């Protein structure tokens, strides 16, 4: 197994956070707040955020590098061999909630875990990378979804010709609300436990995913940001944001890991929308723009 280069990963992630924040500040003509924090058990992070912006009603681009003495259950459930090990985790995680309902909500995350070998043993550190991005529109434009998927496919194919198909399927299955029998949005790519090809190859693929975010998402923002909307569209946006909350609190492994590991609650829950709504047994009227979303909430091929 190739050696793990934690400083290189940290440097890349900090640069990625800054590049994304700079692009979003330019697009929204608004500076992100900066909140640096320290974790008592070890490590810390930098939260960059906007609340109440004209373009982004809420946006968080978070860097964290945290350490702990024992991996929590959410991290070791699929890898029982690492249970009880000391660990380090670092990553960039972001969720953008635009104000205009015609711009999709988007999530992106790239991360690395290291489960350290027990002191004095002959075992090795165990590392893995994970990440991905997914798009959650309220009003679907097929050309936007295809652009988002094509950008991810191009980024992955340079490293592995089968990765897009595998990671797209993984995303469809992961971001699925079982109790609603629907996907969170129109998907994207998702991967985890990436380590089989060694550190350098795994890190290179992860970088490609992180670097693909801006070209995948920002053209959609520019295309839709000036579309007019009213209370009807905002009301539907709030209703669909309720689904986002349900997924994050019930199914999301990152949220569970953060809370179980004693993570910083304010940063973990920054992914939540600023406003959301629920209604009892509500359905959009047939033939309306709101009803047009439902057929897209099942896995589909975009090419």
- Domain assignment present for 118: yes
In a domain, 302, yes or no: no
Are the beta carbons of 194 and 130 closer than 8 angstroms?
yes
Q: How far apart (Å, rounded) are the C-alpha atoms in residues 77 and 51?
A: 35
Residue 301 located in a structural domain? no
- Write b or e for each residue in 139-159: b if 16 or more Cβ atoms lie within 10 A of its Cβ, otherwise e: bbbeebbebbbebbbebbeeb
Tokens describing residue 124: 């090795």
pLDDT for the residue numbered 117 = 79
Residue from 65, 78, 97, 107 carrying the catalytic annotation: 107
Euclidean distance between CA atoms 163 and 26, whole angstroms? 32
> Is 1 domain-assigned?
no
What CATH number is associated with residue 84?
Answer: 3.40.1500.10
Residue-wise pLDDT tens for the chain (303 aa)? 458 899 999 999 999 999 999 999 999 999 999 999 998 888 999 999 999 999 999 999 999 999 888 876 666 566 767 777 888 999 999 999 999 999 999 999 999 999 887 777 777 888 999 999 999 999 999 999 999 999 999 999 999 999 999 999 999 999 999 999 999 999 999 999 999 999 999 999 999 999 999 999 999 999 999 999 999 999 999 999 999 999 999 998 888 877 877 778 888 898 999 999 999 999 999 999 999 999 999 999 999
Residue with tokens 């993984």: 170
pLDDT at 144: 98
What residue numbers bound the domain in which 107 lies?
6-296
| Full strand arrangement of the beta sheet holding 187-194 | 33-38, 43-51, 56-68, 87-98, 105-115, 126-136, 187-194
Token pair belonging to 101: 């309902």
Q: Residue 97 domain-assigned?
A: yes
The answer to the question of residue 70 being in a domain is: yes
The candidate with the shortest Cα–Cα distance to 94, out of 8, 24, 31, is 24
In a domain, 153, yes or no: yes
Is 107 a catalytic site residue?
yes
Does residue 98 sit within a domain?
Answer: yes
Count of structural domains, the chain: 1
């Amino acid at each position: 197994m190739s050696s793990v280069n934690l400083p290189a990963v940290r440097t890349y992630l900090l640069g990625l956070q800054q590049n994304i924040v700079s692009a979003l500040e330019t697009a929204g003509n608004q500076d992100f707040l900066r909140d640096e924090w320290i974790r008592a058990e070890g490590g810390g992070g930098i939260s960059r955020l906007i609340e109440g912006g004209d373009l982004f009603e809420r946006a968080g681009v978070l860097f964290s590098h945290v350490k702990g003495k024992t991996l929590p259950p959410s991290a070791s459930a699929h890898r029982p061999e690492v249970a009880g090990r000391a660990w380090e985790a670092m990553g960039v995680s972001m969720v953008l909630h635009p104000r205009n309902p015609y711009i999709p909500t988007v999530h992106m995350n790239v991360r690395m875990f290291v489960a350290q070998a027990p002191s004095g043993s002959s075992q090795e550190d165990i590392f893995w990378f994970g990440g991905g991005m997914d798009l959650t529109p309220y009003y679907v434009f097929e050309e936007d979804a295809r652009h988002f998927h094509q950008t991810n496919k191009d980024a992955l194919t340079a490293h592995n010709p089968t990765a897009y198909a595998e990671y797209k399927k993984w995303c469809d299955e992961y971001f699925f609300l079982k109790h609603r029998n629907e996907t969170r949005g129109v998907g994207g790519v998702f991967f985890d436990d990436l380590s089989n090809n060694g550190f350098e190859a795994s890190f290179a693929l992860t970088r490609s995913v992180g670097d693909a975010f801006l070209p995948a998402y920002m053209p959609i923002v520019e295309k839709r940001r000036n579309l007019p909307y009213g209370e009807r569209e905002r009301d539907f946006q709030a209703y669909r944001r309720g689904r986002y909350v349900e997924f994050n609190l019930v199914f999301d492994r990152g949220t569970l890991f953060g809370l179980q590991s004693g993570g910083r609650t304010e940063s973990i829950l920054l992914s939540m929308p600023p406003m959301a709504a629920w209604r009892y047994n509500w359905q959009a009227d047939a033939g309306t723009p709101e009803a047009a979303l439902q057929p897209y909430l099942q896995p589909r091929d975009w090419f």
